[in-house]
Homo-oligomer: A and B are copies of this chain.
Amino acid sequence: MTPFKLSDELLEEIRSLVESKSDQSLLELMSEFHYADIAEIIDELNLEEGTYLIKLLDTERTSDVLTELDEDKREQILERLSAREIAEEIGELDTDDAADIIAELPEERVREIISQIDDRQHARDIVELLRYDEDTAGGLMAKELVKVRESWNVLTCVKEMRRQAENVTRVHSIYVVDDEDKLKGRLSLKDLLTTSTKTQISEVYIPKVDYVRVEDKAEEVARVMSKYDLEAVPVIDEIGRLVGRITIDDVVDVIKEEAEKDYQLAAGITQEVEADDSVWQLTKARLPWLVLGLLGGLGAVFIMEGFEEVMSNPNYRSLFFYTPLIAAMAGNVGVQSSAIIVQGLANDAVKGSLLQRLIKEVSLSLINGGALALLVIAFGFLINQPLEVSATIALSMLAVIVVAALIGTFVPIILDKRGIDPAIATGPFITTSNDIFGIFLFFYIAKVILGF
């Protein structure tokens, strides 16, 4: 496939076609593109142009385009469509995508849209999905699935499946339920086709089936599906009834978002912002973390004021030259330790006792810190610094590194144990506290050794 590349020329062409209302040429041009590419185009167009395109194209295509649009853009475009138009769009979509699209709209509007959907079963299914939190299995699942009863025979089953499969784009699995709709197992297509038509389903189905619960967290669903290589997983409610299914493509988005969120937190950015968001949105996402860093820096100012008289001592004043170094080391070590732990927690790969981890982190930071301390002493020779000063700096840096590693390791573990997302303890939070702590420790140890 020649990769689609949205060029300025193409955008210009589309813009001028929209302006001149050349519908036929637009339709022809668009017919070549995948709906995900059309979404990319509309994300770049202004609101009028985008809405024009959406109204021009078939609902069969635009419904898919809507699912791929940037959320803000989608909301704005939906505001310009009538309830009837939106109902037609989401009538084309699977229930999970339909619910995602209207979930953000005002309640009143949602009711209006739902009432305009022709297929009432589809409407009821969407309403049901709207009830679930978007970060749970219920929020990810779709109602479209193929299910058969264990009390049926193979013939009834095949007939029923044909009917159900019409609404399902891709059959991942056939689920078996009892008369109360409780999930009992799954059925292999092969067994179904090679068994006599009079055989009861209860005799041929596979009772072992992986499932998730409707209230399970989205990340847990992602973990289970990727660990067990599942392409689809059934969802059951509190009393074991089959209520939906989640496919791997929905989970890919969860995995990506999760990774991006952790990455952004580590970089000191809240909310899911993108490079192309507005200056205002970016400010909101970035400023709070910078203020945190600023407060840390001001804290360091306070601490150093307490040691101001050292500046009058020509032998020891050079200690102040090392404060950015100490802060950087404390910050870097803290971020490294916390990143490894946060990733380990996310992948369920942190094992062993806290004591073992303590020993490991201490030995690790002694090795790293020892190597760095030697470099600092060598540097001291180079710039003719008194050995006692170099040694003091090296030693206190080593202490700072050990403490920073311990804070970086155990703060996320403690947060995780208390049910708080440990990812907030990476990035600015850890660097700021480690900065203050490191600088205090540095001067304090120097004071004890050098006796000023």
How many identical subunits does the complex contain?
Answer: 2
B372 close to A335 (CB less than 8 A): no
Instruction: Let me know if A81 is at the binding interface, CB within 8 A.
Output: no
- The smallest C-beta distance from A257 to any residue of chain B, in angstroms, reads 10
State A326–B136 Cα separation when bound (angstroms).
Answer: 42
Given A275-B341, A320-B311, do A296 and B367 touch, yes or no (CB 8 Å)? Answer: no
Contact count band on A: 35 or more
What is the bound-complex CA distance between A10 and B360, given in angstroms?
24
Q: Say how far A39's CB is from chain B's closest CB, in angstroms.
A: 9
Interface of A is mostly: helix
Q: Return A353 CB to nearest CB of chain B, in Å.
A: 9
The residue among A36, A44, A226, A229 with the most chain B CB atoms within 10 A of its own CB is: A229
Find the B residue at minimum CB distance from A170. B231
CB distance from A372 to the nearest CB of B (A): 5
Instruction: Determine whether A180 belongs to the interface, using a CB cutoff of 8 Å to chain B.
Output: no
Q: Are B332 and A289 within 8 A (Cβ)?
A: yes
- In the complex, what distance in Å separates the CA atom of A267 from the CA atom of B431? 11
Complexed CA–CA distance, A21 and B85 (Å): 69
A340 with B269, Cβ < 8 A, contacts A260-B259, A262-B263, A290-B332 known: yes
Contact of A297 among B34, B260, B322 (CB under 8 A): B322
Task: Identify the closest chain B residue to A343 (Cβ).
Answer: B260
| Interface residue A159 (Cβ < 8 Å from any Cβ of B) | no
Enumerate 20 A-B pairs (CB-CB under 8 Å) in ascending A order.
A1-B212, A248-B248, A248-B252, A252-B255, A263-B266, A263-B343, A275-B341, A279-B360, A279-B364, A283-B368, A289-B336, A294-B328, A294-B375, A296-B328, A298-B379, A300-B325, A301-B321, A305-B383, A328-B331, A328-B435
